[in-house]
Structure 1
Amino acid sequence: MKVKICGITNLEDALDAINAGADALGFVFYEPSPRYIRPIDAKKIVEQLPPFVQTVGLFVNESSKHINDICKVAHMQLAQIIDDEDTTEFDNLEVTYIKVERIESKEDLENLEDSFKLVDAFVPGFGGEGKRIAIDWFKGLDCSKIILAGGLKAENLKELKGFGFYGVDVSSGVEQSKGKKDNQKMIDFVKVAHEI
C-alpha cells in the first residue's frame, strides 16, 4: 500500500517521513491551513530530497493557472485538488493531478468515476480534521484506485485490511502539533500500512 504523508512544513519532517518509508510528501498551498507552506519554502525542501520520492501540492478551489504556477515554482510533480466550487479548469492543467472527493454518504462512494482518486471525509473546513469515513461503506466496492484519507493513524490502519486500497494519506495522525510531525508516529504508521 502506498503512503503519502501530508502537511510537510520543514526539511527535518520531510527527511524523517522518507526514512520512515513514505512514498510521497504533501505540501499544503491553502493559505488558511495551519500547515500552509509558501511555494518558495516548499521548493527549498524539495531541492534537498533524495530521488524517487513524489512531491504533491494540495490546492483548494484554485484556478488552473494558479496551480500550474505554484507547481512550477515549488517543483511539485502532482497536484491534489479539492474543487468544490468548480474553480479549476482541469483541461488547462500542465501538471498531473488527482481529484479529492469529499464523501458525506455511502451513495457518494458508489457514484465515483472509475479513476484514481483521493477520498476524504467531508468536513466544513479543508484537511487535517481527523474525521473518518465509515469503513463499512467500502464493502463490496473496488478500492484498488482509491487513496483513503481522513482520521487515519497507526492504531486504526489494520481496519483497512482486505479492502485493497491503493494507498493512504495521513497528516494529523502523525503529528506532534499542527504542522510538526512526530517521527515515531510516522515510522509506526508506514510500518503498519506496508503490512496490510
Structure 2
Amino acid sequence: MRTRVKICGITRIEDAVQAVEAGADAIGLVFYPPSPRAVDVEQAARIVRALPPFVEAVGLFVNPDPDLVRTVIDEVGIGLLQFHGDEPSSFCAQFHQRWLKAVRVRDMEDVPSAYRVYPDASGLLVDAYDPKKYGGTGQIFDWSLIPQERPRPLILAGGLNSANVAAAVAAVRPWAVDVSGGVEREKGIKDASRIIEFIREVNRVG
C-alpha cells in the first residue's frame, strides 16, 4: 500500500502547486495565529481554489473557537479537520466533517488510549511530545512507541525530512506522513526541491 504524503503549513499558492506537482496527496493550512505558518480565511481560500481535483485541503486547529472552524468550513472549503489541542471527541465531531486528532507521544499507552478516547476520528496523527507546544516541534520521537495494532489510519509526523523519512516509513508503516519544517527554506516558505526529494524518499519504500 502506498504511503500518502501531506505537506503542512502551506502559506502560498505557489508552494501548494509545487507540492501537488511533486505528488503530495494533501496540503495543510494552519488556523492557529501563534504559529509562524498561520493563514487567514481569505488567504486559505485562495490557496484551496488553486488546488486540482483529488487533492485534500486539511485545516489545522488548536483549541479553536467553534465559529472559526465553521467559517473555515464554509468559506475555505475545508473537508478534513485536524485538531492539535486538548479538544474532546465531542468538540471535534460537532462540525459533521471528517477529522483527525493529533497525539503527542510520550509512552506506549498514548496511541492506544487516543484510539479509545477518539473513536469517531478518521485517523490519528502522532507527533513528538513537547510540554510547551501543540505540534510543529521539528523533533522526531521513539517510533517503537507506536503500536502495530491500529483500528484506524495513523499519520506519522514529527521532525521528518528527506534524510529520515524512508527509515520512518519502513519502521512504522503509517497510512501517511506529514511534514512541514523538513521541506522549508524558512518558516512558512517551502522549498520545491526539498518537497520533491521528500516525496521521492517516501515512494522509494512506501
TM-score, length-scaled by structure 1: 0.91
Residues 67-109 of structure 1: per-residue CA shift (max 9 Å, x gap) = 1222221111211012315497234213221111121222213
Instruction: Name the structure 2 match of 1:170.
Output: 179
The answer to whether the 8 Å contact 2:102/2:124 transfers is yes
| Aligned mate of 2:162, from 145, 151, 154 | 154
Instruction: Go from structure 1 to structure 2 and tell me whether the alpha carbon gap of 1:137 and 1:90 turns closer, same or farther (over 3 Å shift).
Output: closer
The match for 1:64 is 66
Is 1:118 the counterpart of 2:125? The answer is yes
Equivalent-residue separation in structure 1 for 2:134 and 2:92 (angstroms)? 20
Q: Spell out structure 1 runs of 4+ moving beyond 6 A.
A: none
**Identical-pair percentage:** 37
The aligned residue for residue 190 of structure 1 is 199
Provide the C-alpha distance between the structure 2 equivalents of 1:78 and 1:132, rounded to a whole number of angstroms: 25
Equivalent-residue separation in structure 2 for 1:129 and 1:148 (angstroms): 13
Q: CA-atom RMSD, angstroms?
A: 1.9
User: 2-side partners of 1:88 and 1:66: how far apart?
Assistant: 17
Distance 1:64 1:12, change over 3 A: same
Structure 1 residue 17, shift from structure 2 partner: 0.4
1:18 to 17, 20, 23: 20
**2:145 paired residue number:** 137
Bigger Cα displacement from structure 2, 38-47 vs 95-104: 95-104
Structure 2 gaps of 5+ residues are none
What secondary structure sits across from 2:115 in the alignment? Answer: coil
Q: Which moved further from structure 2: 24-33 or 162-171?
A: 162-171
Unaligned runs of 5+ in 1: none
Write the letter of the residue equivalent to 2:129. Answer: F
1:85 & 1:28 partners in 2: Cα distance? 16
Task: Give the deviation of 1:132 after TM superposition.
Answer: 1.2
**How do 1:89-104 and structure 2 match up within 5 A?**
89-104=91-106
Q: What number of residue pairs does the alignment pair up?
A: 195
Structure 2 residue identity aligned to 1:53: V
Q: Is the 8 A contact 2:41 2:76 kept in 1?
A: yes
Specify the alignment match of 1:47 in structure 2: 49
Q: Which residue of 2 aligns with 1:82?
A: 84
Give, in whole Å, the separation in 2 of the partners of 1:158 and 1:47. Answer: 32
Q: Distance in 2 between matches of 1:67 and 1:179?
A: 21
**Between 70-79 and 102-111, the greater mean CA deviation after superposition:** 102-111
Tell me whether 77-86 or 26-35 shows the greater mean CA deviation.
77-86
Question: Cα distance 1:130–1:162, how it changes in 2: closer, same or farther (>3 A)?
Answer: closer
Q: Judging changes above 3 Å, is the alpha-carbon distance between structure 1 residues 111 and 127 closer, same or farther for their aligned structure 2 residues?
A: closer
